Chains A and B, each alone.
Chain A
Amino acid sequence: GESVGLHLPTLSVQEGDNSIINCAYSNSASDYFIWYKQESGKGPQFIIDIRSNMDKRQGQRVTVLLNKTVKHLSLQIAATQPGDSAVYFCAEIPNTDKLIFGTGTRLQVFP
């Protein structure tokens, strides 16, 4: 499959455990944030988003937390499954309206 990054930080978790993937963003003017999942051989897939007027948003098995004070974003995946194995990217949208992606974190789920 496609290699999306050779030097990505890697998070290894056991199936059934919760995963927390962190991201530091750069622009304090960013008002919208998105988490994407990229599986081998595929393009990034939208997971969940959050606006800057919120500090938490929940989806199905996923929660995004936003800490604007320290410009930090996290993605929590509950009961991680083998199908969650992928590279996860955070992205911010500053007032330039361009998506700026983070470097990505590789999540490996072990049985």
Chain B
Amino acid sequence: KAGVTQTPRYLIKTRGQQVTLSCSPISGHRSVSWYQQTPGQGLQFLFEYFSETQRNKGNFPGRFSGRQFSNSRSEMNVSTLELGDSALYLCASSSSQLADYEQYFGPGTRLTVT
């Protein structure tokens, strides 16, 4: 069974631009969660999607948004990029909602904002 895949793996953007990251969960998994990982703040929860609906949301500004498609693939979008948005963005999937707990993480997308 293929693992969680994220594209692209690396991305360089400039301030003010917007970016869209993609995540394909493990086949059959319906829950997708997104996290931001930085050296200063560690791993922080962004949001979780289950069956195309956002189930939970972390404490991030509205510039961070996401969606999930009927095939469970998910995208997250960051608009008006700031230098502080430079981070590793991780996606994780699980078979049901977060309560399933055993999440499988993808390798992440490294975003650098210059």
Contacts and interface: CB of A to CB of B under 8 A. Distances in A.
Given A5-B39, A43-B4, A97 B92 contact: no
A103 interface: yes
Contacts of B45: 98-101
Nearest to B56: A98
Give the interface size class of chain B.
Answer: 20 to 34
Interface stretch (A17-25, A44-52, A59-67): A44-52
B67 to A, nearest CB: 19
B59 to A, nearest CB: 10
Give the interface size class of chain A.
Answer: 20 to 34
A4 B98 contact: no
B78 to A, nearest CB: 19
Nearest to B98: A97
Contacts of A91: 43
Contact of B105 (A7, A41, A44, A49): A44
A103 B48 CA distance: 21
Given A43-B106, A46-B102, A98-B98, A2 B88 contact: yes
A44 B6 CA distance: 14
Interface of A: 2-7, 32, 34, 36, 41-46, 49, 89, 91, 93, 96-104
Interface of B: 4, 33, 35, 37, 39, 42-45, 48, 55-56, 58, 88, 90, 92, 97-99, 101-108, 110
